[in-house]
């Protein structure tokens, strides 16, 4: 493998890490000042938990939390299956490289770089697994909170205590949703890593494209417009 090829690969992986970390910080920071999908959903979760305290029957709330938890379980199990496939590919690196070398558009960088690419992909899915499982646990904690919510006619619970409970439950649901979102983003970034098997430049382009897509969906999507049309962001702020 030539030094220039190695340099290209190092630039590509550095760009990938920089973009991932940079966008995560940017999205989190700007969601505190501007309406995004995450911040708008936070407002709806706050309304949800306040309405939980107005209902005697909370079966529907428990069902919604169960569905959210199952979504995390699905992606966590998918991450495990993908990790198993990647580990298998590492064990059969020579055979896999032989298949890819027949494709004219795929760069041939040697076994070491091939294993580095697979290792990078593996790390992305390990990250996603931890995020999804932590999201599941947080939704589980939220289910416990909903189960322990004060009853509508429970006079010994003060309005201040009810408000504090709703805020805590909403914040926990927000944390679970944000963690799930981070896990879901990693799937997008994993698609970018796949482009690395073609060429480092394709990896850089794919990484940039993924961030552009994530940015558009988080800040300017039609889904955000619909959510904002039913909630005054400025008033809640």
pLDDT in tens, 169-206: 999 999 999 999 999 999 999 999 999 988 889 999 99
What DSSP line would sit under 56-82, residue for residue?
S--HHHHHHHHHHHHHHHHHHHHHHHH
Residue for token pair 């899915």: 125
CA–CA distance from 130 to each of 52, 133, 187 (Å)?
Answer: 29, 5, 13
pLDDT in tens, the chain (237 residues): 454 667 888 899 999 999 999 999 999 888 888 889 998 999 999 999 999 998 888 889 999 999 999 999 999 999 999 999 999 888 776 776 666 666 556 666 677 788 889 999 999 999 999 999 999 999 999 999 998 888 888 778 888 888 999 999 999 999 999 999 999 999 999 999 999 988 889 999 999 999 999 999 999 999 999 988 876 544 444
DSSP-derived secondary structure letter, 150: P
Cα–Cα distance, 69 to 194 (Å, whole number): 28
| pLDDT score of 133 | 97
143-174: b (≥16 Cβ within 10 Å) or e: bebbeebbeeeeeeeeeeebeebbeebbebbb
pTM, to two decimals: 0.87
| Beta carbons of 142 and 42 less than 8 angstroms apart | no
| pLDDT score of 105 | 60
């Amino acid at each position: 493998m030539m030094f220039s090829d190695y340099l290209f690969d190092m630039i590509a992986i550095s760009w990938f890490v920089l973009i991932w970390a940079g966008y995560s910080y940017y999205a989190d920071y700007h969601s505190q000042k501007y309406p995004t999908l995450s911040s708008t959903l936070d407002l709806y979760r706050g309304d949800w938990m306040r309405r939980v305290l107005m209902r005697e029957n909370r079966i529907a709330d428990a069902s919604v939390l169960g569905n959210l938890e199952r979504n995390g379980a699905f992606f966590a199990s998918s991450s495990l299956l993908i990790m198993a496939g990647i580990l298998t590919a590492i064990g059969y690196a020579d055979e896999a490289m032989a298949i890819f070398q027949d494709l004219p558009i795929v760069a041939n960088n040697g076994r070491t770089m091939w294993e580095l690419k697979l290792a990078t992909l593996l790390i992305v899915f390990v990250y996603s697994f931890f995020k999804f499982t932590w999201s599941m646990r947080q939704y589980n904690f939220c289910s416990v909170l909903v189960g322990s919510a004060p009853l509508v006619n429970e006079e010994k619970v003060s309005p201040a205590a009810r408000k504090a409970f709703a805020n805590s439950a909403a914040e926990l649901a927000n944390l679970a949703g944000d963690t799930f979102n981070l896990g879901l983003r990693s799937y997008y970034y994993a698609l970018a890593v796949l482009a690395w098997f073609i060429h480092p430049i394709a990896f850089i382009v794919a990484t940039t494209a993924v961030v552009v897509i994530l940015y558009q969906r988080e800040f300017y999507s039609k889904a955000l417009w619909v959510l904002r049309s039913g909630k005054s962001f400025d008033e809640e702020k």
